[in-house]
A and B are shown apart, each in its own frame.
Chain A
Amino acid sequence: MIGLDTVIEGVLLGGVYALFALGLSLIFGIMRLVNLAHGDLILLAAYLVLSVTTVLGIPLIVATLLVVVVMFVAGFALQRLVLERVLGDDILPPLLVTFGLSIVIQNGLLLVYGADSRRLQAGAFESASVTLGGGLSIGLAPLTALLTAIVAVALLQLIFYRTSLGRAFRATSDNPQIAQLMGINERSVYAIAVGISLAVSVIAAITFGIRANFDPSIGPARLLYAFEAVIIGGLGSLWGTLVGGIVLGLAQTIGARINPEWQILSGHLAFLAVLMVRPRGLFPSRRP
């Protein structure tokens, strides 16, 4: 029997997937760049938070802020020093470079942290729960993840549609050459976009790292879920990405309830089903 608890669990899992996917969706929307290293960059952020909290003994919240700044700067530098050189009309070079980056990060993490599974420690927060009526209770950590995803999408929407930087993002995405005529420096806009994408990845890393174990090899699998969330939601739509993550989370949880072996399979099947009915996703951006 698929009850309300399953649905709630699925929606909450969807929040984590949406956070995975947001950074990917953002970069694709602005730069038409598919970042194959996105999953590994999330892991890198998770390990950085792990190091900062365990080695330096800083509280998780402070560590998060610190790593957000570090990853923003890393993203900015990554774009200016590496990705910028391969962006162009040909989509293959950036794919190859981010694929290579994915391998470099995986092996780098393996070298520094080893292959053991790790987990972020959040103390009592990990197991705390909110009790609802009817014998239902919701884990505080997954609930926070979903709320964080909603706040993150709302903030990014605010930046996109209410600020001068957001207009510059959209204009550059429409037509980079004409955007230059407006005084917009395309290089800085792209670098800021990658920086924001990696900053958001830190939030994804924290919510994921508290919820489950991670080791250096799991990046690509997370990337696949992120891709599916972006495609289900429709390319170029951030709210769509959130919905896409929730659809994926729901499908996996319901599938697992029917038969524990079907969890991952049913996520992929939901993805294929959406593609068959709505090839451009649920909320494609209006732009042709």
Chain B
Amino acid sequence: MEKLIEEHGLTFNRRRFLSRLSLGLGSAALGSLLIPDLFSGGAFDEDGLTPGIPHFAPKAKRVIYLFQNGAPSQQELFDYKPKLRDMQGQEIPPSVRGSQRLTGMTAGQSSFPLVGSFVDFKQYGQSRAWVSDLMPYTAGIVDDLCIVKSLYTEAINHDPALTFLQTGSQQGNRPSMGAWLSYGLGNENKNLPTFMVLLSRGIGNGQGVYSKLWTNGFLDSIHQGVQFSKGEDPVLYLRDPDGMDRKDRRDMLDNVAQLNELAYQEFGDPEIMAKVQQYEMAYRMQTAIPEVMDLSKEPDDIVKLYGPDCLVPGTFAANCLLARKLSENGVRFVQLYHQGWDQHGNLPFEIAKQAKDVDQASAALVTDLKQRGLLDETLVIWGGEFGRTSYTQGKLTADNYGRDHHPRCFTIWMAGGGIKPGIVYGETDELGYNISENPVHVHDFQATVLHQLGLNHEKLIYKHLGRRYRLTDVSGKVVNDLIS
């Protein structure tokens, strides 16, 4: 009997235990239903993304990025360091240089003498920003500019640094900033691509630009940057061949579309319909592109504003003017590259020429957008991929020197697009080597640009090969001090 009671107790306890356990586990499981990434890690809201529509009301609708390829020396343009002149020829203190990794070009150098700018600086505008005498036109618009002196990057060589700035990763194959914007914002003008690229070249030591910089990466190929060439056909393969008129083209497209429709019904591959759309866009571009590219109707004031080179195809000035026209016509992202800023040697001679190439037209673009009431909705960015050292590369002579790559600080400017005008943000130490105040990482810069376009950089995501990717990778925060 006793045994029976004991047995009953045990049975009762076991049953109780099991029922309680299942109840507890059940509740825990119910709770876990509300925690989507409890076992997957990394929180994000997949519902938050509707490609083609901004997350919140944007300040800027379009971007024009005047990329100064090769890395312009901030010490000769915007970052005024009189101390460098005082200490001309003296070694840079090791405490300042720290453990900075050097490029192969100066790693073997036994001495690192400081060198001051060969050119003088003055203060301009209400913001009293310092600008060198090499940039007189830019100096004239400082009150429209937000000059950021404290950008820094992780790479020390051109290609990785460029790729990092453009795609958020030093290795290639991720989508470029323009492709991300195309993906996030979609078309404004359905007759033109969302992302266009214009190249020009100065006389200075140049570094290559490659199509991987305007790649769509793993995004759909409609987000790829379309490169303009400076020849007779600005967009290749757009012109109808001789003997084919517009009606023939129409008929051909209609017939191909029918074939594609059949193929789509059979295979159901969405890429087929994407292709049909691409053909249609190209057809519309046949009339839109000549309308946009026609510089002959630009008034004389425009030629004086941008400088006479703006009518010479392939120059930076012409590209700036085209950029305005494309942007005005709803192209989301116009990317310019101007090569020739890599002044390892012969800096005074080369940088003066480079600055002359870009100064007037860059300032003109800002003025031109402003006088059309477009500056508030167009973000203009001017800058290179990193900075240059405050010590000389190679021999320091009375009138000649060079500067090597420097990732720890560099200067860019932005204008319009809801960025605070007339401010200088961030500061470097008096030798211009380290940032002393308000550092802005490349990812912070990218996050800020996306923010101005109404995109949350943490939500602009694309899932590829099992990983979710962002332009800002896994970091970056919006720099609120730059936003008006």
Q: Do A and B originate from a single complex?
A: no
Q: Which residues of B are at the interface with A, using a C-beta cutoff of 8 A? A: none
Q: Which residues of A are at the interface with B, using a C-beta cutoff of 8 A? A: none
